[in-house]
Structure 1
Amino acid sequence: MSGARLGRVLALAAASSLVLAACAGGGGGGTGGGDATTVKIGFMGDLTGENSAIVIPPYNGAKMAIDEYNAKNPKNKIELIKYDSQGKPDQATSLITKAVGTDKIVALIGPAFSGESKAIGGTLEENKIPSVSPSATNPGLAKNGWTYWHRVVANDDDQGPGIADFLIKAKSPKKAFVLSDDQEYSVGIAEAVTKTLKEKGVAVENDKFAKDASDYSSTVTKVKSANPDMIFFGGYYAQGGRLLKQLRDGGVNATFASGDGSLDQQLVSGAGATAAEGAVVGCPCNIPSSDVTGTLKTFFDNYKKSANADPAIYATEGYDAATAFIKAVEAGNTTSDAINNFLKTVSFEGVSKPIKFKANGEPENNDIFVYQVKGGVLKLLGPSASAKLEG
């Protein structure tokens, strides 16, 4: 079936869904009214694949927010339906057909990754399904003219320069080597870091390899020959851990840095504690630890009880993305259009940051935080503007 025809089929299915919801007292025009309604909201991302550790925390955060809301026994309850894309754009494309055409979701938390976001953004737009991603950071996503798309995380045009500026301040490099695999996110953040380093007078060499490659010997040889002062890898921890191990095994000892896709303990386990020691990871996320206070402490305790784990990357962003939709439904908006209109003006103090969207769906707040592997554990150093490397 052609993309255009598929879009029309989904649009008709979504329209039929809204008519049925209205007939059941679902709130003509999204205003509530009539009998109680159950609003279906999807969550899409890699929940079982090789980079699922980046997506399970925001899913847990979103689920916790919705469980807390439903526990209040509101008039309009929310059903969270999960769609495991394994981070693959083709799976996301298949899943969104089911989500819109069969499950009749009215909104989507996600997709979690940039590649799948790009793959289904047009379908969401055509079917007028509002989405809020907790973790997709490719800058191009905000340049498609989509009016139903949003994210609560800073993009790589913020993250890349934030990490690059931090590394320049911390290490004063003369030469850098920027690497990536061929995934949408990986290429985007690598380009952003390369651009900033060059603008600041750092000589940069680049290399790219296939996502599914396991032997990086050709890349290691290139990096060793270049003898850079620092290395930046644009990509996810599954590839980053293997790459870092092979770089260190190959005698490359330059400072290794990466972005939010590598912010998981599996970067350390994949590389080995010795190889990973001192590695730097930037992220537009502030992960609460056990020694925080106030709102973050409440979130930490509730998340640990709900998920049986400490909060990890994008747990707070998942909670905030869900909360944006919760606030819309709480205000009586139960149709996709009404929810999307509500998101245009929503403004609240989220757990991760103040949540407010620009006209293009980008968040108003774009802070970048820096982490470093110390003693085999990723440690938060603070905001990129003030953080200092340890050792």
Structure 2
Amino acid sequence: MDGERASALRQIFVRAIGGVALAALVMGGAAACKQDEGGSGSDTAGAKVCDLKIGFFGALSGADAGLVTPGQQAAKMAINQYNAEHADCKVSLQEYDSQGKPELAGGLATSAVNDAKVVGMVGPAFSGESETANPTFQQAGLPVISQSATRPSLSEQGWKIFHRGVGNDFSQGPAAAAYIKGLNPAKVFVVDDQSAYGAGLADEVKKALGPLVTASDKATDNQQDFSAIVTKVTGSGATALFYGGYTEEASPFLKQLRAGGYKGTFVGGDGIYDANMLSVTGNADVEGAVATCPCAPATEAKGTFVADFQKEYNAAPGVYADVAYDLTKIFLEAIGEGKSTRADIQAFLTSYSKAGAATGVTYKWTDKGELDPAQVRVWAYVAKNGQWAPDKEIPKA
């Protein structure tokens, strides 16, 4: 009889404690809901939604990092400036280092969408990794704006979350071809690295050059010996060569072309428009090489951007730094206006139409996420004395 009574008392005690715990859990959940109800910048719930994150996705290490790290620096600077004015409700930059490799992009994209605090993504920076990551972002409703992924087909996949902050290769390809035609070449040789970006851009250049293209060839990822292609180029009679791809292969290729006696003009797309192409190739071989880019010179950006960047990093802003800065500020503007969910920020982008503080470009997008064609600009840059010197804006076709 005593044992039964003790057992009954224990059950009553457990039920009582369970009831208290359940009540605490319900009240805690209600408090948490109340914390988030008002959204960032709203006082209706008595609290703001803080500690949100903006992602930055691209090659932050590896051979092609020179194309991405200036944008990462600019994004970080934009967030630091925002936090200085919003010390009570800060935003952080969450970095995803893809090393420029599509095979790493899927896992990074999954990590990003599983972090509920990440409400917007600057990038992915390259087209190949975009093809891998964007389906995951689409499924999770995470809005993205790429500062430099230019493959045209990215906007044809039905990804509502996709936005591009620059022109695509339908603009860069013909512009590069127009620049090459201005060199009055006898013949043109075209080489690409078979990447989503490089092959697509080279195809657009070939279309625009037409019969001027005497021959073409393919490089491979991580290729270091280009002797077979060099032999073809030097024997082709081409006085200009277009390379579609990235610095990692373009640099040794150009060095071997010069060693093989090729004197023609080497032209590449924005995949070679970085500091590594200059320093790794060396002044003697890279001098006179040309890079096209759907971007104006970052060193001539508007407002205080150049001075702010120089003060922050003791260096001039590099490729796409001004674009990434503006795109980050668009996400920050949304957060500052109380948009605290991915869906709210996606809706914010859909109707956005304002000029960027650094680029002066009016950012507004078509229903496929393409930048308004009227805002697209393509520039040519020439390697001079170890620097990329702005040559000219290439007129639109």
TM-score range, shorter chain: 0.7 to 0.9
1:9-28 equivalences under 5 Å are 23=33, 25-27=35-37
Residue number among 292, 295, 301 corresponding to 1:282 in the alignment: 292
Q: Which structure ranks higher in relative contact order (CA pairs < 8 Å, sequence separation ≥ 6)?
A: 1
Q: Which amino acid aligns with 1:41?
A: I
Instruction: Work out whether 1:268 is the aligned partner of 2:281.
Output: no
Q: Is the 8 A contact 1:110 1:134 kept in 2?
A: yes
Distance in structure 2 (CA, Å) of the matches to 1:117 and 1:20:
39
- Please tell me whether the aligned partners of residues 37 and 77 of structure 1 are also in contact (alpha carbons under 8 angstroms): no
Distance in 1 of aligned mates of 2:37 and 2:258: 60
Say yes or no: does 1:97 pair with 2:106: no
Render the CA deviation track for 1:208-234: whole Å, top value 9, x for unaligned.
Answer: 111111001111111112121210001
The answer on whether the counterparts of 1:197 and 1:204 sit within 8 Å (CA) in structure 2 is no
Equivalent in 341, 344, 362 of residue 354 of structure 1 = 362
Conserved? CA contact 2:38–2:48, under 8 Å:
no
Q: Assess if the C-alpha contact under 8 Å between 1:356 and 1:363 holds in 2.
A: yes
Q: Secondary structure at 2:96's aligned position in 1?
A: strand
* Largest Rg, 1 or 2: 2
Q: 1:320 to 1:20 in 2, by over 3 A?
A: farther
Distance 2:114 2:108 in 1: 10
Aligned to 1:321: 327
Runs (4+) of structure 1 moved beyond 6 Å?
Answer: 19-22, 28-31
Cα deviation for residue 174 of structure 1 reads 3.4
TM-score (norm: length of structure 1): 0.87
Residue in structure 2 matched with residue 4 of structure 1 by the alignment: none
Which residue number in structure 2 is paired with residue 112 of structure 1?
125
State the AA in 1 paired with 2:349.
L
Matched residue type, 2:68: V
C-alpha distance 26-306 of structure 1, shift in aligned 2 (>3 A): farther
Distance in 2, matches of 1:52 and 1:20, equals 45
* Aligned equivalents of 2:288, 2:114: Cα separation in 1: 48
Specify the code of the residue in structure 2 equivalent to 1:304. Q
What do the CA deviations read for 1:124-175 (whole angstroms, capped 9, x no partner)? Answer: 111110001111111111111111111101111111111111221x212231
Alignment of 1:227-242 (within 5 A): 227-242=237-252
Distance in 1, Cα, partners of 2:324 & 2:291: 20
Match of 1:174 in 2: 186
1:161 aligns with 2:174: yes
Deviations 1:261-317 (A, max 9, x none): 11123212232212211111111112233xx5xx62511110112233210000001
Stretches of structure 2 that go unaligned for 5 or more consecutive residues are: 1-28
Tell me how far apart the structure 2 counterparts of residues 203 and 232 of structure 1 sit (CA, whole Å): 10
Pair 1:308 & 2:324 matched: no
Superposition pairs of residues 204-243 of structure 1, within 5 angstroms: 204-243=214-253
When normalised by structure 2's length, the TM-score is: 0.86
1:7 is matched with which residue? none
Any idea what SS the aligned residue of 1:281 has? strand
Q: How many residues align?
A: 361
Which residue is equivalent to 2:154? 141
Contact 1:112/1:134 (8 A) holds in 2: yes
Which of 86, 89, 92 is matched with 1:73 structurally? 86
Structure 1 unaligned residues grouped into runs of 5+:
1-18, 387-391
* CA apart distance, 1:96: 1.4
Counterpart residue identity of residue 206, structure 2? T
Partner of 2:384: 374
Given that residues 69 and 326 in structure 1 are in contact (C-alpha distance below 8 angstroms), is that contact kept between their aligned partners in structure 2? yes
Q: Does 1:59 align with 2:76?
A: no
Identity %: 37
Structural RMSD (CA): 2.1
